[in-house]
Structure 1
Amino acid sequence: MMFRYDHDVSGWDWFAMSAGMILFWALIITVAAPLFRALNRPQEHTGTPAAPAPADILRERLTRGKIDEDDYRRRLNALHAGTLTKP
């Protein structure tokens, strides 16, 4: 049986401890850095509804009775013709 009775640390022991410490911290940084980036990334606001299309707004106004059918068709034609855009 081999027992080490002296409490001296040899050069290989120092090397093994140093390499182990470097590998340990490399592992911690490799895991922590992407986790930190993921947690600090601005979140996308997926819960906000998209703005309704102009044709949908016209259809809703017609359904609620705010505009009549002739006005609806005139505005829809103007919308599709592009006359409402600024020059």
Structure 2
Amino acid sequence: MMYWNDHGMTGWGVGLMTVSMLLFWALLIFGVVALVRHVGQASRHSPAPPPAAVPPERPAPEQLLAERLARGEIEPDEYRRRLDVLRGSPPTAG
């Protein structure tokens, strides 16, 4: 004699199997949708191409003059004279 329910599968077993299968498919579909959205957003927010080469800003004339003094290219007297000229003051006799 053959029994269809001889492995202890009761109504609870069938119900739990059905719920777990629905949960599995729901999680699988949710994962695929989340992955597609993430990839779509990543492509929209891709980094912009680097800007064209922009020449670096030149330092201020007073800064260049101070650097030349620091390197020893000019003497302090010459530095003061040139600084006066840059600032619009009349050069002092030295």
TM-score range, shorter chain: 0.3 to 0.5
Structure number with higher relative contact order (C-alpha < 8 Å, ≥ 6 residues apart): 1
Alignment TM-score, normalising by the size of structure 2: 0.42
Alignment TM-score, normalising by the size of structure 1: 0.44
